[in-house]
Structure 1
Amino acid sequence: MHDDAQPVPPPLPPLADLLATARVVALPLVTRFRGIDVREAVLFEGPEGWTEFSPFAEYGDEESSAWLEASVDYGWRQAPPPLRDRIPVNATVPSVDPDEVAAVLERFPGCRTAKVKVAASDQTLAQDVARVRAARQALGPEGRVRLDANGGWNVDEAEHAIHALAEFDLEYVEQPCPGIDDLAEIRLRTKYMGIPIAADESVRRVDDPLAVAEAGAADLLVIKAQPLGGIRRALSIVEAAGLPVNVSSALDTSVGLAMGAALAAAVPHLEYDCGLGTASLLAADVTREPLVPEAGAIAVRRVEPDPGLLDRYAADADRTAWWLARLERCHALLARRGSVL
């Protein structure tokens, strides 16, 4: 073997190793977000430290297995060398009333960027406009405002909405439409406005994450460590896509946010404030030292859960059984594929 040969990745650890330390938690949120009031997650400890498995409940096992692969990778392999020790982050504004926006932003001290949720199925465009206006007013002209539609518009709706919201000097619009073809179409239709289009779900919920770049469907990619199968796999997508990227989270506990921070720390060119400040949306966390924004940034570090908080916010017996069964099914999927870390 040559001295410069790449080391062989270690095999997937046995399920028993994951279950030995697994803890299922249910953390209350400050504000309803993505239709939930409580965020559930499984935490377990590997040789490198604690890690998190937390695909949203509606995701199937096939999609969720990528989240488990990422979780095991972070717990059993050393993270890539960091290029920075702090990650600038954005504030996240859920689909709240306009008069609640300022209070939400106060939970993100020092953040100069706000990502505002829009296109909720139970809300109108007028409500979105009022919320985005409130965010712009709270941040002032120097602040940055970006939108996240989570694929909630069709092409015509997206064109109309982006036109209505353009006056607020938008940094970009994330996932305005669900499909790659629709993203490419809305990017073409709104190009004259000069507002970049970002892809999130279209990167992590398709067979080929590079299809967005190949179709010219986005100006930048939003990447997340868990859904993409881990830090190294996400970095390989960044390199192959050749587009600017932002690193975001999926409403993780501080343990999961630490994984996202490790990814952001290893991205060669980090041009945007990252969506890794979402611990501020949790009313409780699993650590006494949560990864919440300080002066607009979070630290790049491992997070150690507090045993007392793990006990206090333990999920009930039924939910614990549900999550551990899901963990077992996803592990079996990875084992059948012969997955390595």
Structure 2
Amino acid sequence: MSHPALADLLASARVVALPLATRFRGVDVREAVVFEGPEGWTEFSPFTEYDDLEAATWLAAAIDFGWRPQPATLRDRVNVNATVPAVAAASVPDVLARFDGCRTAKVKVAEPGQVLADDVARVRAVREALGPEGRVRVDANGGWNLDEAEHAIHALAEFDLEYVEQPCMSVDELAELHRRVKYMGIPIAADESVRKAADPLAVARAGAADLLVIKAQPLGGVRRALDIVAEAGLPAVVSSALDTSIGLSMGVWLAASLAELDYDCGLGTSSLFTADVSVPSLAPHDGSLPVGRVVPDAAMLDDLAAPAERREWWLARLARCYDLL
């Protein structure tokens, strides 16, 4: 595929800063670039700490979504989970209330500066709020070493976990942990081992995970993510990278294009923002999201515009990443 000219990307580019209701991934504001291609609006929003080479894959995804027709979808709505940041247990009901109709919750654990007792209290509060019929999964973002992960899974097992996402960072650790806890019947999911890996299929070949968590932007777009799932031969959950509603629409398209989708997807994260680029935002209604393109609201683009120096930073980053494609 030949890429559009850089000028075509910059012509409609808007840099936005979305405030979060609760601190998440160490940030209170999520920045992104949104711009419009012939197929519709798209998004470039690699996390600020990522280098240009890694961020260029996110730009490839943005260009693909904005300039190329997407694969045919197999469903018109996608069920999604609530996402619970590393908040105090007392705050859990307020967080869950933002996710209309969601019966699955992903709970962040292994937060720097916290201890396992904090995780246990938070997960207990989620289980109590959802009741026995709700599904609870936890995400450590690779924050535990092997022994810590094994200990934590035992401590959290009483809450009937659907799966544990990225308990350790390396594929070797995941494989050994998978061996150690297999008897417990709690599946292991891989996220960073797929989206941040030079070889996203290594975790599947190693037998280190039971399912994959995939994200459209970090994997280079809908098509490439579908190819990875097909080659891995494992069930997949589609999750967000804390995108705006425009980026979320890319993830929903990916989820709607998967041949099999047995898990609720982590695409309800616009509910973590206090404002978004579209009105209404692409937020859960009765536990699901519609498939389709999102068009930003002009007034919201103005209201959420990033400060001038941040706009310059992002557009310079976009140009550097473009040169790497």
Q: TM-score normalized by structure 2?
A: 0.99
- Secondary structure of 2:176 counterpart: helix
Deviations 1:203-253 (A, max 9, x none): 011111110100111000000000000000000001100000000001100
Q: Distance in 2 between matches of 1:265 and 1:90?
A: 15
**Partner residue, 1:195:** 186
1:136 paired to 2:127: yes
Q: Distance in 2 between matches of 1:215 and 1:295?
A: 38
1:277 paired to 2:277: no
**Partner residue, 2:54:** 63
2:96 to 86, 105, 121: 105
Q: Distance in 2 between matches of 1:167 and 1:204?
A: 30
**Partner residue, 1:85:** 76
1:257 paired to 2:248: yes
Q: Distance in 2 between matches of 1:122 and 1:46?
A: 42
Alignment of 1:315-326 (within 5 A): 315-326=306-317
TM-fit CA distance, 1:301: 1.1
Name segments (4+ residues, structure 1) moved above 2 Å: none
RMSD: 0.5
Q: Structure 2: which 5+ runs fail to align? A: none
**Partner residue, 1:159:** 150
- Secondary structure of 2:301 counterpart: helix
Q: Distance in 1 between matches of 2:44 and 2:70?
A: 17
TM-fit CA distance, 1:109: 1.2
Amino acid in structure 2 at the alignment position of 1:181: D
TM-fit CA distance, 1:289: 1.9
Q: Distance in 2 between matches of 1:48 and 1:212?
A: 34
TM-fit CA distance, 1:21: 0.5
**Partner residue, 1:118:** 109
Q: Distance in 2 between matches of 1:158 and 1:48?
A: 44
- Secondary structure of 1:323 counterpart: helix
**Partner residue, 2:37:** 46
- Secondary structure of 1:37 counterpart: strand
Aligned residues: 325
Deviations 1:272-303 (A, max 9, x none): 00000000001100011211000000000100
Amino acid in structure 2 at the alignment position of 1:113: T
**Partner residue, 2:166:** 175
TM-fit CA distance, 1:79: 1.3
**Partner residue, 2:305:** 314
Q: Distance in 2 between matches of 1:331 and 1:109?
A: 38
TM-fit CA distance, 1:83: 0.1
**Partner residue, 2:236:** 245
TM-fit CA distance, 1:37: 0.1
Percent identity at matched positions?
70
Q: Distance in 1 between matches of 2:92 and 2:170?
A: 30
1:222 to 204, 213, 235: 213
1:184 paired to 2:172: no
Q: Distance in 1 between matches of 2:78 and 2:155?
A: 32
Q: Distance in 2 between matches of 1:314 and 1:180?
A: 40
Q: Distance in 2 between matches of 1:139 and 1:201?
A: 27
Q: Distance in 1 between matches of 2:300 and 2:210?
A: 41
- Secondary structure of 1:190 counterpart: helix
TM-fit CA distance, 1:155: 0.2
Amino acid in structure 2 at the alignment position of 1:107: R
- Secondary structure of 1:120 counterpart: coil
2:281 to 268, 290, 299: 290
**Partner residue, 1:236:** 227
Q: Distance in 2 between matches of 1:22 and 1:333?
A: 19
Deviations 1:97-146 (A, max 9, x none): 00100111111111110000000111010000000000000000000000
Amino acid in structure 1 at the alignment position of 2:172: D
Amino acid in structure 1 at the alignment position of 2:28: D
Q: Distance in 2 between matches of 1:105 and 1:243?
A: 29
Q: Distance in 2 between matches of 1:41 and 1:331?
A: 16
**Partner residue, 1:5:** none
Q: Distance in 1 between matches of 2:98 and 2:5?
A: 40
Amino acid in structure 1 at the alignment position of 2:25: R
**Partner residue, 2:3:** 12
